[in-house]
A and B are shown apart, each in its own frame.
Chain A
Amino acid sequence: MVSPEDEVIRRRQRERARIMALLLGAFVVLLFFITIAKTGMNW
């Protein structure tokens, strides 16, 4: 049986992993558009 404290730890780990995944995804998208913009500036 999982103790209430373990439950809090798991929940926080899950939430933090989800936020980190979202931020990394957003960063990849941002880098893609930065690259396109920088390439466009050098034309």
Chain B
Amino acid sequence: MPTLELSNPAALPADWRDFVALTKPRVMSLVVFSGLCGLIVAPVQLPLVLSFTAILCIALAAGACGALNQWYEVEIDAKMRRTAKRPLPAGRMERQSALHFGVALSGFSVLLMGLATNWLAAALLAVSILFYVIVYTVWLKPRTAQNIVIGGAAGAFPPLIGWVAATGHVAALPLLLFAIIFLWTPPHFWALSLFVRSDYAAAGIPMLPVVAGFESTRRQILLYSLPMAFAAVTPWALGLSGPVYGVCAAVLSFVFLVLASRVAANRASEPVGMDAEKHLFAYSVFYLFALFAALVADRWLPW
């Protein structure tokens, strides 16, 4: 398709595809999946349309977080190769459009969640959005190397929200699911930040590899993987899930620890020598999908 060279692309109404890109659809898939698992393993089953609405609200809230994050970080995104082509730094959209879109999506998702399921789920959804945008994006991310550690809580909310949407109350299992994602986030992000360190350094983001160096980050990846593995098998140990989940969690976590040990042993300082980090990052995404899928299978399949 021929393209038109425009003198000022931001002066045009943004393309609808750019609004979709603002929501970070790839990140959303893991959020939706973990929220869906929280909803499915809950002891109360909602009517299908209400379950769908609850998941839709979680997805919209995740999209709102993505939009507000990009609205706030436009200057930072422009400095990083990985993010420079996003709609705002590339100049395909006005900054204010992203703000309006993010705020509208946030309000809509919280209201719809409250009307369709219950107001505790809506309140948790609102807290997760505010936590991600204000605590993580605005406050922690530009200030401290512990940004991912505390900010990881924002991404840990979906299974808890899914459970509360179905039951109306908080229980031990969804809190453990929250803990698993919370403890999984640092090794996952630090593995990525090791091989895109130069991007973060150029943008002035104090990610752990930039502030503390490679060796310390690799050691902390391994240290955080240990309590994560412990949290992963705890639902089985406490009798909150069955042996199928227990065996899957043990095997998946063991492989995670092996890969984290390989990262801890690596001494490379250039991305080209960081296969161990790339493998851990890719596996960490699979790990979370597989762990939650095992929990659902354990709950629903007639073993």
Interface of A is mostly: helix
B53 sits at the interface (CB 8 A)? yes
The residue from A4, A9, A34 contacting B115, defined by CB atoms under 8 A apart: A34
Contact between A13 and B49 (Cβ–Cβ < 8 Å)?
no
Question: How far, in angstroms, from A15 to B13 measured CA to CA in the complex?
Answer: 11
The residue from A13, A16, A19, A37 contacting B50, defined by CB atoms under 8 A apart: A37
Q: Which residues 56-102 of B sit at the A interface, judged by CB distance below 8 A?
A: 56
Q: Note all chain B residues with C-beta closer than 8 A to A40.
A: 47
Q: How large is the interface on A (under 10, 10 to 19, 20 to 34, 35 or more residues)?
A: 10 to 19
Q: Which residues 5-43 of A sit at the B interface, judged by CB distance below 8 A?
A: 5, 8-9, 12-13, 15-16, 19, 30, 33-34, 36-38, 40-41
Q: Note all chain A residues with C-beta closer than 8 A to B14.
A: 12
Q: Note all chain A residues with C-beta closer than 8 A to B50.
A: 34, 37-38
Q: How large is the interface on B (under 10, 10 to 19, 20 to 34, 35 or more residues)?
A: 10 to 19
Contact between A15 and B15 (Cβ–Cβ < 8 Å)?
yes
Q: Note all chain B residues with C-beta closer than 8 A to A30.
A: 49, 53, 56
Bitwise interface map of B from 151 to 185 toward A, beta carbon under 8 Å scored 1, else 0: 00000000000000000000000000000000000
Contact between B15 and A12 (Cβ–Cβ < 8 Å)?
yes
B6 sits at the interface (CB 8 A)? yes
Contact between A9 and B13 (Cβ–Cβ < 8 Å)?
yes
Q: Note all chain B residues with C-beta closer than 8 A to A36.
A: 49
Closest beta carbon of chain B to A36's beta carbon, Å: 8
The residue from A5, A37, A38 contacting B4, defined by CB atoms under 8 A apart: A5
Closest beta carbon of chain B to A11's beta carbon, Å: 9
- Residue of chain B at shortest CB distance from A40: B47
Contact between A16 and B16 (Cβ–Cβ < 8 Å)?
yes
- Residue of chain B at shortest CB distance from A41: B47
B272 sits at the interface (CB 8 A)? no
Question: How far, in angstroms, from A13 to B15 measured CA to CA in the complex?
Answer: 8
B150 sits at the interface (CB 8 A)? no
Question: How far, in angstroms, from A13 to B12 measured CA to CA in the complex?
Answer: 10
Interfacial residues, chain A to chain B (CB-CB below 8 A): 4-5, 8-9, 12-13, 15-16, 19, 30, 33-34, 36-38, 40-41
Interfacial residues, chain B to chain A (CB-CB below 8 A): 4, 6, 12-16, 47, 49-50, 53, 56, 115-116
14 pairs of residues in contact across A and B, judged by CB atoms under 8 Å: A4-B4, A5-B6, A5-B12, A8-B4, A8-B12, A9-B12, A9-B13, A12-B15, A12-B16, A16-B16, A19-B16, A30-B49, A30-B56, A38-B116
